[in-house]
Amino acid sequence: MKIYIKNHPFHYEIENITRLFFPYEKLQVVKFIDNEITEYESPYILTEINDEISVTVNFRNFQKTETTTKTEDEKENERLISSVLYNLLTEYTGIKMPWGMITGIRPVKYFRNLKENYSEEYAKEYFKNSYFVSDEKINLAKITEKYEKDIINSSKENSFSLYVSIPFCPSRCSYCSFVSQSVARTKHLIEPYVDLLCKEIEYTGNIAKENNLHLETVYIGGGTPTTLNPNQLEKMIKAINSSFNMETCREFTVEAGRPDTITADKLKVLKDNGVTRISINPQTLNDSVLEKIGRKHTAQNALEMFDLAGTYDFNCTNADLIAGLPTDTVESFAHSLDKLVEKNLENITVHTLSIKRSADYTEQGLTTNKEDAERTGKMLQYAEETLFNKGYVPYYLYRQSRMVGNFENVGWSKVGKEGLYNVFIMDETHSILACGAGGATKLKNHQTNCLTRIFNYKFPYEYIDHFDEILNRKDKVNNFFKELK
Ligand code: SF4
């Protein structure tokens, strides 16, 4: 489909709005001025700003042009042209987006900005009337903002969090878009990887100390960190404990993502070395769906791991579920959620399936339709009602591209047990220093509110082969903090 952009610079937003409705369509954006192009290739969307704002949608069975008055404010013109297109595509598809035409911005952060600059009432009205967000999602944003705010405010100007990446997994899930490598092919890289990772951790710890940074949280993610054996896990965690001032650290998370990688030995290593929060992520407790997503464990295995983890008395145990997995039904999703709620976990994160370009699902040609969106919507509604009833509150929320039905991911928590790191990273509250392959360091300048990103190599073999360069890039982190002083 061609999207013509005539006499305006808002191609990014116009493409995003179109993608909401046509996530799998190949879109070609054509920018031009005045009458450079007079014939358009159907099917097409023509957006233009001249004396007025005008949008034409020309599909085989639907042709319509709508106009609106131009303003002096460029930002408002961007919103106006987007909203004309959004309303035309809503009319054509019959689909009402839960988050309206909000794309590319974090809804809760945006809600907070509006609330702080005007009022909560204004924020709600603006979401509803200017962005067409549904009442249910406005309410979700409002409640999430309330629980997120206190966590954000608890961070200091020199605060930072540490992220450590373990990009290995026992097998690759069909929906995965991360760089994670299946251990079947990369087992031999784990030992050298962990050795170098410990060096990078130590190097980073020195930078943190030299610049008097205040460690708030540690998050070991991936991948599946518990793919490491107990000795490797212990070595890595001890490297963290000896390299950073852990006295200020308020939360230490290890993603024990895949139940088939967890053992009593590993849980003991985590507990004995100061880990306070673990995450076990079955994504569904339906065996046939587990098999279809490429998991090598059963629902029963996952439930047993929650029981085993319970005996180690971590401050917080999290579980992840995904709504919208292929072949999962509303009833089976509800059953999965109920089983997790029965375990009385402190955190339950409910994701919406997002089919990214690099996922196996995309290669297999999997797409989703209106019925999938409706089914996913019912799952999320069930989750919301159940979790509220059981005393959980939403404390962070984010959205990704190509999510089924354009819904959201929500972290639910018992009050006081929120996952701090999740809020800090999503809100971009403070700097995140990242170690390991695929890690992205984000340096926050509180004066300008800008983030500088420094990327590590993506794959473990690149990380091992170019380790000197990894340390060189860490020197840029040091320079950043020195220049801030
Ligand atoms: S466990 Fe996570 S990182 Fe590993 S393959 Fe599955 S989705 Fe990807």
pLDDT value for 296? 87
Give 445's strand partners: 450
Among protein residues, the one whose CA lies closest to atom 6 of ligand 1 = 173
The closest-lying atom of ligand 1 relative to the alpha carbon of residue 222 is: 3
pLDDT value for 257? 86
At a CB cut-off of 8 Å and minimum separation 6, what does 92 contact?
21, 57, 59, 62, 64
Ligand 1 geometric centre to CA of 121 (Å)? 40
Ligand 1 geometric centre to CA of 180 (Å)? 7
Question: What whole-number distance in Å separates Cα of residue 435 and Cα of residue 428?
Answer: 18
Sheet architecture: strand order including 347-352 = 392-398, 409-414, 347-352, 316-323, 277-283, 251-255, 214-222, 159-166, 431-435, 440-445, 450-455
Among protein residues, the one whose CA lies closest to atom 7 of ligand 1 = 176
Question: What whole-number distance in Å separates Cα of residue 481 and Cα of residue 213?
Answer: 9
Sheet architecture: strand order including 52-59 = 28-32, 2-6, 44-49, 52-59, 62-69
pLDDT value for 179? 62
Q: Collapsing DSSP states into helix, strand and coil, what is residue 350?
A: strand
Question: What whole-number distance in Å separates Cα of residue 452 and Cα of residue 135?
Answer: 36
pLDDT value for 100? 97
Tokens 């994504």 locate to 283
Ligand 1 pocket mutation pick from 166, 168, 169 by most atoms within 8 angstroms of CB: 169
Ligand 1 geometric centre to CA of 360 (Å)? 12
Ligand 1 pocket mutation pick from 168, 180, 362 by most atoms within 8 angstroms of CB: 180
Preceding peptide of 223 cis, ω within 30°: yes
Ligand 1 geometric centre to CA of 467 (Å)? 24
The closest-lying atom of ligand 1 relative to the alpha carbon of residue 180 is: 3
pLDDT value for 369? 85
List the chain pLDDT tens, one digit each, 485 residues: 999 999 999 999 999 999 999 988 999 999 999 889 989 999 999 999 999 999 999 998 999 999 999 999 999 999 999 999 999 999 999 999 999 999 977 999 999 999 999 999 999 999 999 999 999 999 999 999 999 999 999 999 999 999 999 999 988 888 888 766 667 788 899 999 999 999 999 999 999 999 999 999 999 998 999 999 999 999 999 999 999 999 999 999 999 989 999 999 999 999 999 999 999 999 999 999 999 998 989 999 999 999 999 999 999 999 999 999 999 999 999 999 999 999 999 999 999 999 887 788 777 887 788 899 999 999 999 999 999 999 999 999 999 988 999 999 999 999 999 999 999 999 999 999 999 999 999 999 999 999 999 999 999 999 999 999 999 999 999 999 999 87
Ligand 1 geometric centre to CA of 363 (Å)? 16
CA angle 291, 297, 302 (to 5 degrees): 120
At a CB cut-off of 8 Å and minimum separation 6, what does 73 contact?
none
pLDDT value for 460? 94
Ligand 1 pocket mutation pick from 174, 178, 320 by most atoms within 8 angstroms of CB: 178
Contact present, 13 and 80 (Cβ < 8 Å): no
Contact present, 23 and 361 (Cβ < 8 Å): no
pLDDT value for 180? 60
Report the CATH number of the 152-473 domain: 3.80.30.20
- The CA-atom distances, in angstroms, between 478 and each of 208, 274, 475 are 8, 27, 5
Ligand 1 pocket mutation pick from 171, 174, 224 by most atoms within 8 angstroms of CB: 224
Question: What whole-number distance in Å separates Cα of residue 408 and Cα of residue 418?
Answer: 18
Report the CATH number of the 2-93 domain: 3.30.160
Helices vs. strands in the chain: H and E counts, helices first? 16, 18
2-93 matches 152-473 in fold: no
Residue 171 has a CB neighbour count (10 Å cut-off) of 17
Spell out the domain ranges in the chain: 2-93, 107-151, 152-473
- The CA-atom distances, in angstroms, between 141 and each of 21, 147, 297, 430, 478 are 22, 10, 35, 21, 36
Ligand 1 geometric centre to CA of 480 (Å)? 32
Ligand 1 geometric centre to CA of 176 (Å)? 6
pLDDT value for 181? 62
Ligand 1 pocket, residues with Cβ under 6 angstroms: 169, 172-173, 176, 178, 180, 222-224, 257-258
